[in-house]
Amino acid sequence: MKTTLRTHTCGELNASNINQKVTLCGWIQKIRNLGGMTFIDLRDRYGITQLAFNAETNPELCKQIEPFGREWVIQVTGTVAERYSKNKNIPTGDIEILAKSINVLNESITPPFTIEDESDGGDEIRMKYRYLDLRRNPVKNNLLFRHKLSIAIRNYMNNIGFVEIETPMLVSSTPEGARDFVVPSRLSHGEFYALPQSPQTFKQLLMVAGFDRYFQIVKCFRDEDLRADRQPEFTQIDCEMSFVSQEDILQTFEGLIKYIFKETKGMDIGTIERITWHDAMKYYGSDKPDARFGMRFVELNDVLQHRDFKVFNEAELVVGIVAKGCAHYSRKQIDSLTEFVKRPQVGATGLVHIQCQEGGNYKSSVDKFYNQEDLAAVAKKCGAEEGDLILIMAGPRLKTQKQLCELRLEMGRQLGLRKAGEYKLLWVVDFPLLEWDEETQRYYAMHHPFTAPKPEHEAMLETHPGEVNANAYDLVINGTEVGGGSIRIHDKNLQKRMFKALGFSEEEAQKQFGFLMNAFQYGAPPHGGLAFGFDRMCSVLSDADSIRDFIAFPKNNAARDMMLNAPTPISDAQLKELGLK
Amino acid sequence: MKTTLRTHTCGELNASNINQKVTLCGWIQKIRNLGGMTFIDLRDRYGITQLAFNAETNPELCKQIEPFGREWVIQVTGTVAERYSKNKNIPTGDIEILAKSINVLNESITPPFTIEDESDGGDEIRMKYRYLDLRRNPVKNNLLFRHKLSIAIRNYMNNIGFVEIETPMLVSSTPEGARDFVVPSRLSHGEFYALPQSPQTFKQLLMVAGFDRYFQIVKCFRDEDLRADRQPEFTQIDCEMSFVSQEDILQTFEGLIKYIFKETKGMDIGTIERITWHDAMKYYGSDKPDARFGMRFVELNDVLQHRDFKVFNEAELVVGIVAKGCAHYSRKQIDSLTEFVKRPQVGATGLVHIQCQEGGNYKSSVDKFYNQEDLAAVAKKCGAEEGDLILIMAGPRLKTQKQLCELRLEMGRQLGLRKAGEYKLLWVVDFPLLEWDEETQRYYAMHHPFTAPKPEHEAMLETHPGEVNANAYDLVINGTEVGGGSIRIHDKNLQKRMFKALGFSEEEAQKQFGFLMNAFQYGAPPHGGLAFGFDRMCSVLSDADSIRDFIAFPKNNAARDMMLNAPTPISDAQLKELGLK
């Protein structure tokens, strides 16, 4: 990294460089004036190097640096010397630079927050001054990690024959799916491009074109109301292969994921377990289970619906989990769990517990209805032992599963079972093809309208659409969906039947996806693929909660760039040129 | 590339595989029924393999394939056998597959044009059915080359410490520069994002943030009226470095370019020559000279303005080139050159020629005004020898230079001096900082408003703005500008002076670039960079004329995607949500 302005970076000098004359450039992290000696920590992307100024031997220089402040940019020339008190925490900690001359490259006014690992700046101000936030190690390291990951992915994909092909950003709007961002056309007033929600149709066309193995790390766009951790523009690792079965795809990308873990974290993750969507719902109440810990659901209808407890008897599902070693939970602790499930975000009406006490006694919130034998039977069914706490919920199946899922995750958190640095990967397979929507009274594609039904279920597409399973799969890491995909329909007629099952008229299907269906007339190969959320993958691999920390210039929850203050009004001349009001 | 559906690709079997049982998948390129034997050429991305069907030994199979047609997708199982008549032109030419069974994966209707290296399809139909056009070898190979180039670039940049950082696509509109594509905001009616014309300001902010070395291969957007070879969305290799001089940047990217040539073409290009903008204009009449051939301009004012020829005497510039060995050009050939320069695209009023004939005689279209000694003096000044043709133009300096540049390129073409496969690279340096625009009566930045003047010219920014040179540079290959950049202004006050020289009021400057100028208050390092046009680089390295052939799904000259038929009208509901009419 030697340039005209520096001989070394602030991260590379060590004991082997002692007595060398060097020139460094960087930002002033800290100035410590100890009377006779002044020390400056000089920072750049690569590290921190200590500069030393001796008031006795070099008074002019000490005078020169007096006005210096945090974040000034300086160029310093001096000699590398062994440090009196070494700093074992940084690679340059054995040495310091005895400064001979200094050149101020730029001054800085006082930054609005501290440039430290833990900053005193709030979220909003750090977003507004993102270029200063990016100077902080945690944020900087996130972007360096993202880069490292993208290089690793590209090289792996290239080595196994995948070709990166750029697909267009100015495409056509498709009402099916999420809301599009649109771009008014200046040359055709009243017409709009759309920004792609994903390159889905393009990658399928590339398979029709015979590219066999395609990938792309690519920006995608969704104009959705932003939840805590969504961004209007996000990055996908988009992949597609021809002449493959689902198994080929799972194997191929299991290879990629293993490589990523090895390359970026030095971890060997072994074979990725698989679970059907049905089992994921049954045992975890979620299609993206955090399987770092067990606490699997146990269905209890058969052992709890034989007494007079109406709540259980009338429930479609009675289901419990075992919190190991939590029988000692106080009344207050249990009340707070009940409050947790009653929060509107979870929405349960109540929580039943059974404490498996020493000596084989059971204490329960439903003691009135169930005797010790009943409770022992429940404990046996759950595999609960002395000292365990059984937590039970009841109600409509899907709703109750989702509520218990929330409780399970909360218990996992309380018990420290969701360990940072531990990774549990799952392929969730055999998704249903379609999902019924009560509001619009129609089926929606669970993945997207191009997903192929399992061949053995194809015949049910018209008769029992809700029971058709898809050749679709998700990759889940620690309870987060990191990617997903499917085998696609490559047969024109099956695609027509699928559109029909989704309630599209022939005209609608032709209007929205005509170019794809036309393409399928000219020899479409069997194909399938998947897409990973790249921002999400970065955050999951870093045990971080938010994807925003892995995006250089993210938008806030109102889809606004706080630094640019975008979006902004445009000029009347621009509006007129676009034929807009 | 083995998958569940195939054991091998159509490009990998050879004599070493003879007697192996294999399964291939692919498209039918050609069927040749020779009576007793039928041959099918099966094609995939990797190559072509011949399938053989014997009517005598396998009549059922021959019956099965009867209805097959071009571009059907089939899966075939058979045994690899030595071919009777080998095809030395393809890697699989020694073998064929004795087919045992066939499975039709998909049928195809007859494609609208032939899928051959030279297709019978016109431009428009090939764009509409781009997925079929992409099956053709030349187009496919262009995209494979593009991929290979992008991998090489990323790895080189990564190895020398550059970090790829994604910058946002939804940014704010900046009236300075080309026209923006805009994206209406649904959450803030009347406000718009803009799609970036380049990540210029973001990469500068990343330098302020301390990333030191940034690059990105990134889509950029310009809503311009499209010339023959422009696209509304295009891809840049965008780069920026901190603590550097111009020399550091030229050296760094000369390394990249050398690596690219070595890696993708096996060529050692040596040191890249440099030429000042002033000399490029003087000797080639262009800031992007095709230096594969000489034919440099020779200024002839001093040897041609002393007689009574008014056209020359009144011209600001009289300038000529020597076409070696073209003294024999016929009247018709010379007339056609005159017509060439009189075309509106060139716009000259005439062309003077001197034929340097055998025996030291000169024949000229201006014999009336100049005697043999005059013409000999011109020839001497031009370095013309017996058998050469001197072509001379006159008029206002810049205009005449540009016209003669066109003629020079045309002569180079006619004489076969612009050889495909030969590469001449140039760094054009010392560009003027500003360019006067007669129409709007103001200066414009020749590169962009962030380009730094040469330090020794800084003082002239207010007094002689037109004479200030910039620390700016372009990379030119064979007469095409492939990239360009500059050292940036990192000083807030100098930036203010620059905006003033461009006629911006303080308010305008603050409104358009306030976030950047604010950022410069917090310790901006000296920095600079450049951007290469990636589509253009692909085409230049492939000796291709058009960038469109290196884009998977390009738009036509009306910025329309012929395949998607985008842009399209959107629904009233969508318009209403966006607050648009």
Q: Which helix (H) or strand (E) holds A321?
A: strand A317-323
Q: Do A393 and A481 reside in the same domain of the chain?
A: no
Q: How far is B447 from chain A (nearest CA, A)?
A: 22
Within 8 A of B165 by CB-CB distance, chain A residues are 143, 146-147, 552
A416: left (phi over 0), alpha (psi -120 to 50) or beta: left
Contact predicate B446/B432, CB 8 Å: yes
Q: Strands B472-477 and B191-194, how do they pair?
A: unpaired
CB pairs below 8 Å between A and B: how many? 352
**Number of domains composing chain A:** 3
Contacts of B103 in chain A (CB under 8 A): none
Q: Which residue of B has its CA nearest to A215?
A: B147
Same domain, A241 and A176: yes
| Contacts B211 to A, Cβ<8 Å | 45, 134, 140, 143
| Whether residues B395 and B485 fall in one domain | no
A320 lies in which domain range? 293-414
- Report the alpha-carbon distance of residue A468 to residue A453 in Å, rounded: 7
Determine the pLDDT at residue A575: 87
Rounded mean pLDDT, A473-497: 95
Is B312 found in the same domain as B240?
no
CB A467 within 8 A of CB A459: no
Residues of chain B falling short of pLDDT 70:
175-176, 228
CB proximity list for B44: less than 8 A, separation 6 or greater: A210, A212, B9, B10, B11, B24, B25, B26, B27
Look up residue A17 and give its DSSP letter: G
Q: Do A172 and B6 touch (CB under 8 A)?
A: no
The radius of gyration computed from the CA coordinates of chain B, to the nearest angstrom, equals 30
CB atoms within 10 A of CB A300: 23
Per residue in A374-413, pLDDT tens? 999 999 999 999 999 999 999 999 999 999 999 999 999 9
B44 & B98 share domain: yes
Residues near B535 by Cβ (< 8 Å), separated by ≥ 6?
A: B231, B234, B235, B547, B550, B551
On the question of pLDDT at A515 being above 90, the answer is no
Is B329 within a domain? Answer: yes
For residue A128, tell me if it sits in a domain.
no
Q: Does position A302 have pLDDT exceeding 80, yes or no?
A: yes
B145 and B262 share one domain? yes
Measured CA to CA in angstroms, residue A505 lies from A325, A494, A496, A501, B563 at distances of 58, 15, 10, 10, 22
Residues of A with CB below 8 A from B569's CB? 190-192
Nearest CA-CA partner of B514 in B495, B487, B530: B495
pLDDT in tens, A413-424: 999 999 999 999
Indicate the residue among A64, A81, A106 that finishes a domain: A106
Whether B449 and B390 map to the same domain: the answer is no
Q: Which residues of B3-15 are buried (b: 16+ CB within 10 A; e: fewer)?
A: bebbbbbbbbbee
Do residue B72 and residue A523 have CB atoms under 8 angstroms apart? yes
Q: Which chain A residues are closer than 8 Å to B247 by Cβ?
A: 4
How many angstroms separate the CA atoms of B293 and B535, rounded? 25
Residue B136, Cβ neighbours under 10 Å: how many? Answer: 21
> Is residue B116 helix, strand or coil?
coil
Whole-angstrom CA distances from A135 to A1, A26, B413, B479 are: 19, 12, 53, 41
* Sequence-separated (6 or more) residues with CB below 8 Å from residue B115: B27, B29, B70, B71, B132, B135, B136
Q: How are strands ordered across the β-sheet holding B182-184?
A: A568-569, B191-194, B182-184
Chain A nearest-CA distance from B245, in A, is: 6
The span from the CA of B267 to the CA of B259, in Å, is 9
B321 and B255 together in one domain = no
Mean pLDDT value across residues A315-331 = 96
With an 8 Å Cβ cutoff, are A212 and B172 in contact?
A: no
CB contact under 8 A, B523 and A169: no
Whether residue B567 and residue A188 make contact (CB cut-off 8 A), yes or no, is: yes
- E strands in B45-158: 47-54, 73-82, 95-106
Whether B377 and B436 share a structural domain? no
Q: Taking CA A26 as the corner, what is the angle to CA B461 and CA B499, rounded to the nearest 5 degrees?
A: 20
A172 and A98 in a single domain? The answer is: no
The pLDDT confidence band at residue A512, using thresholds 50, 70 and 90, is confident
Is B195 close to A179, i.e. CB distance below 8 A?
no
Residue reference for tokens 């087919």 = B99
- Among B44, B166, B173, select the one facing A235 at the smallest CB separation: B166
Would residue B50 be called left, alpha or beta, if left means φ above 0 and alpha means ψ between -120 and 50 degrees?
beta
Question: Residue B523: what residue type?
Answer: G
Look at A184 and B184 and tell me if their CB atoms are within 8 Å.
Answer: yes
Task: Give A526-567 pLDDT, tens digit per residue.
Answer: 999 999 999 999 999 999 989 999 999 999 988 999 999 899
All residues of chain B having their beta carbon less than 8 Å from the beta carbon of residue A108 are 521-523
Kindly state whether residues B359 and B381 are assigned to the same domain. Answer: yes
Buried b (16+ CB within 10 A) or exposed e, A186-213: bebeebbbbbbbbbbbbbbbbbbbbbbb
Digit-coded pLDDT (tens) for B207-244: 999 999 999 999 999 998 877 678 999 999 999 999 99
B561 found inside a domain = no
- What single letter denotes the amino acid at residue A574? Q
Chain A closest-CA separation from residue B251 CA (Å): 10
Q: Is the Cβ pair A190, B569 closer than 8 Å?
A: yes
* The residue type at A30: K
**Residues A16, A17, A20, A26, Cα dihedral to 10°:** 180
- Pairwise CA distance, residues B448 & B470, whole Å: 11
CATH code: domain of residue B182: 3.30.930.10
Contact (CB<8Å) B164/A170: no
Tokens for A410? 């909360």
Phi-psi sector, B35: left (phi>0), alpha (psi -120 to 50), beta: left
Q: Which domain CATH number covers A348?
A: 3.30.1360.30
CA dist A258 and A11 (Å) reads 31
Smallest Cβ–Cβ distance between B166 and the set A134, A161, A552 belongs to A552
CATH code, domain carrying A58: 2.40.50.140
Contact, B530 vs B484, CB < 8 A?
Answer: yes
Domain end among A374, A394, A414? A414
Global confidence as pTM = 0.95
Residue B129 domain-assigned (yes or no): no
CA–CA gap between residue B337 and residue B331 (Å, rounded): 10
- Torsion sign over Cα A134, A138, A144, A149: negative
Tokens encoding B3: 């998958």
End-of-domain residue from the set B393, B414, B435: B414
The DSSP call for residue A522 is: B
Q: In Å, how far is A234's CA from the nearest CA of chain B? A: 9
Q: What is the Cα–Cα distance from B252 to B246, expressed in whole angstroms?
A: 10
Q: By the 8 A CB rule, do A418 and A292 touch?
A: yes
CA–CA gap between residue B167 and residue A163 (Å, rounded): 23
For residue A432, give the DSSP letter. Answer: B
Query: Are A223 and A336 part of one and the same domain?
Result: no
Lowest mean pLDDT among A109-118, A237-246, A497-506, B193-202: A497-506
Contacting residues of B for A134, CB less than 8 Å apart: 206, 209-211
Is A129 among the domain residues? no
Give per-residue burial for A96-135: e unless 16+ CB within 10 Å, then b.
bbebeebeebbbbeebebebeeebebeeeebbbbbbbbbb
Query: d(Cα A113, Cα A126) in Å, to the nearest integer?
Result: 8
Strand B425-429 versus strand B273-276 pairing type: parallel
Note whether residue B285 is domain-resident.
no
pLDDT at A571: 86
CA distances from B507 to A202, A361, B503, B513 (A): 44, 79, 11, 10
Please provide residue A445's backbone torsions phi and psi, each rounded to the nearest 5 degrees.
-70, 130
CA separation for the pair A506, B117 (Å, rounded): 36
Report the alpha-carbon distance of residue B304 to residue B373 in Å, rounded.
11
